[in-house]
Amino acid sequence: MSKAHVFGVDIDTRHFIGGNRIASAETYTDLSPIDMSELGQISRGGKQEIDLAVQAAKAAFPAWAALGPEGRGKLLFRLADLIEENVELLANVETLDNGSLLRSHRRGVMPRAAMNIRFFADWAMNQLSHPDFETRGHTNKISWDPSGVAALITPWNAPLMLATWKIGPALAAGDTVVLKPAEWTPLSASLFADLTIEAGIPAGVFNVVFGFGSEAGAALTAHKDIARISFTGSVPTAKIIAHAAADNLTPVSFELGGKSPLLVFEDADLELAAQLAVEQYDNAGQVCLSGTRILVHESVAAPFAEKFKERALKIKQGDPRDEDTDIGPQIHPVHFDRIKGFVNRAKESGASIVMGGSENQELGGLYFKPTLVMNPDPLSEIVTSEVFGPVLCMQTFSTDQEALAMANGTEFGLAAVVVSGNREHAEQITKNLVAGTIWVNCFFVRDLRAPFGGSKKSGIGRDGGTWSFDFYADVKNTVYSPNGWKE
Ligand code: NAD
């Protein structure tokens, strides 16, 4: 009951608290989206387990903070090495648990998880500084002090990668951590917990409590001994967490959803535009950054649509473990039905579905076909709400002004993709787009030194480089007078 046998390995399905495995009386079933087989029974934590984990993290905090960036860095570098040594295991387990492509996990996602840990450990040691400055002969010295216990809550679409993006800077900053991973994808967090022991990270510095958002998640975010809440997930959940955080005035960092535009201008390279548009189906559309609203200048709409369809119809859907599969299944029956609901309501309201629009009958299960909705009502939910599945909308515009109004016309502001062959034109457009990240003639080029986050309802705060430490640490200014010294 306390182990899941996955990819030939026994994975502990109990919480990881203070260096020990602790079971809950109740468990829940973890399914593989590939074929809906049961992977294991997972401990279902609540207030009691959260209390224990926060106490363990609080007890471990002073010694961890006292190690300093170098002392912590040595252990975190070892942890990053261990992730790299275990890429094959982590990649296979994650694919079985969340249905994303094995080849992406192997080559991109798991190496990035290691990089998340190594990068922030290195940043704390070598980059985290601000030049001193003088005020009427007094010297201002700025420092980033450990802040306490960080509560980390993560989604299922890139479980370990997104968790380590928080764990890395939190631990490097000297905080201790309680992680509540998404209920649908608990397994990589358990393997990661084992690696923290192997790396020599002291007991209590990193803790994991499994369970549902409304139980374990709610107990964690309401806890009075939490110094930071870092959440990646949906806007509705963020609102609930914001209320919980308000009671204790706990600082929050929110990385939330999106409905990003991909703008194709009349001066664009249409082959490139079609290629970038088709990439928005990656991870079966379960990517917060996806440019799901394709906005095309009317003069190039017909040739663009042709090139797009030519490429999109070649997408191979199938078992995410196969090397030649491009997109796999959706994560869970509940999410699958949600996507289907969006598409069915769009159909009922008269939207034209020119590609896909239903489950993949050949594959069955949770495989939803890549779908294209043409010229939907601009005010309909398929245009304004995040579907988080392989569903793109295509709309046309006739002027830059109209394109910008459409692009900025949702409550989100996470990302945007601009395809234009004219640099001046592209600069004019990017200046007027509201988004945390804009890619011009490219997509998904990421660098941990760059700020990452959402504008409007897509988030609060920025991750990356010093921005991460500005959140996880207590930023302090100490002012030294020129007077009063005895030496
Ligand atoms: P979700 O909001 O349903 O759940 C996210 C996490 O919050 C899970 O661990 C869940 O258990 C927990 N949770 C749920 N209710 C809670 C509560 N009341 N209190 C505390 N925790 C609670 O989101 P999801 O469906 O898992 O993930 C998809 C969403 O995440 C999409 O909106 C997507 O855009 C977003 N996302 C954003 C980014 C980003 O960087 N901006 C990255 C990935 C995913």
Q: Give residue 487's pLDDT band: very low, low, confident or very high (50, 70, 90).
A: confident
Q: Is 85 helix (H, G, I), strand (E, B) or coil?
A: helix
Query: What would the pLDDT profile of 356-379 be if each residue is shown by its tens digit?
Result: 999 999 999 999 999 999 999 999
Kindly state if the Cβ of 252 falls inside 6 Å of ligand 1: no
The CB of 182 under 6 Å from ligand 1? The reply is: yes
Q: How many CB atoms lie within 10 A of CB 361?
A: 8
Choose one of 160, 212, 234 to mutate for the ligand 1 pocket test, by most ligand atoms within 8 angstroms of C-beta: 234
Residue 243 burial (CB count, 10 A): 11
If one residue of 154, 237, 385 were mutated to test the ligand 1 pocket, choosing by the most ligand atoms within 8 A of its CB, it would be 237
Sheet bearing 149-153, strands edge to edge: 20-22, 15-17, 206-208, 176-180, 149-153, 228-232, 252-255, 459-460
Ligand 1 pocket check for 234: Cβ under 6 Å: yes
Q: Per the structure block, which two tokens stand in for 26? A: 């109740």
| Span 167-192, average pLDDT | 98
Active site residues: 255, 288
**Is 111 in contact with 153 (CB distance < 8 Å)?**
no
Report the CATH number that the domain containing residue 118 is assigned in CATH.
Answer: 3.40.605.10
Number of domains in the chain: 2
Residues 209 and 129 in one domain: yes
Q: Is there a contact between 13 and 40 (Cβ–Cβ < 8 Å)?
A: yes
Here the tokens at position 128 are 């985290």
Residue 39 sits in the same domain as residue 95: yes
Q: Do 357 and 316 belong to one domain?
A: yes
In a domain, residue 452? The reply is no
Does residue 183's CB lie within 6 angstroms of at least one atom of ligand 1? yes
For residues 73 and 201, state if they share a domain.
yes
Q: Are residues 225 and 323 in the same domain?
A: no
DSSP string across 72-84: HHHHHHHHHHHHH
Q: Is 214 in the pocket of ligand 1 (CB under 6 A)?
A: yes
Instruction: Tell me if 274 CB under 6 Å of ligand 1.
Output: no
Asked, for residue 486, whether it belongs to a domain, the answer is no
Q: How far is the CA of 310 from the centre of ligand 1 (A)?
A: 34
How many whole angstroms from 459 Cα to the centroid of ligand 1?
A: 12
Helix, strand, or coil (residue 121): helix
Residue-wise pLDDT tens digits, 424-481: 999 999 999 999 999 999 999 999 999 999 999 999 999 999 999 999 999 999 999 9
- Local structure of residue 360 (DSSP, 8 states): -
pLDDT digits (tens, 9 = 90+) for 25-49: 999 999 999 999 999 999 999 999 9
| 236/272 same-domain check | no
Q: Based on the domain organization, do 49 and 8 belong to the same domain?
A: yes
Asked if residue 41 belongs to a domain, the reply is yes
Question: Is the residue at 208 inside a domain?
Answer: yes
Say what angle helices 465-472 and 159-172 make with each other, to 10 degrees.
70
* Domain ranges, residue 298: 261-440
Both 209 and 270 in one domain: the answer is no
**Any atom of ligand 1 within 6 Å of the Cβ of 86:** no
In a domain, 22, yes or no: yes
| In a shared domain, residues 122 and 265 | no
Distance 232 CA to ligand 1 centre (A): 5
Examine the domain organization and report whether 244 and 352 are in the same domain: no
3-state helix/strand/coil string of 423-474: HHHHHHHHHHCCCCEEEECCCCCCCCCCCECCEECCEECCECHHHHHHHHEE
pTM over 0.75: yes
- Give the number of C-alpha atoms closer than 13 A to the C-alpha of residue 356, restricted to the C-beta side: 29
Do both 36 and 114 map to the same domain?
A: yes
Q: Residue 274 belongs to a domain with what CATH number?
A: 3.40.309.10
Residue 467 exposure: Cα atoms within 13 Å on the Cβ side: 13
Average pLDDT over residues 203-224: 98
| Residue 188 within any structural domain of the chain | yes
Predicted pLDDT at 1: 63
Cα–ligand 1 centroid distance for 212 (angstroms): 11
Q: What is the dihedral of CA 343, 418, 310, 320, to 10 degrees?
A: -60
The verdict on residue 336 lying in a domain is yes
Domain assignment of residue 266, yes or no:
yes
Same domain, 34 and 151: yes
Residue 45's H or E segment, with its range, is: none
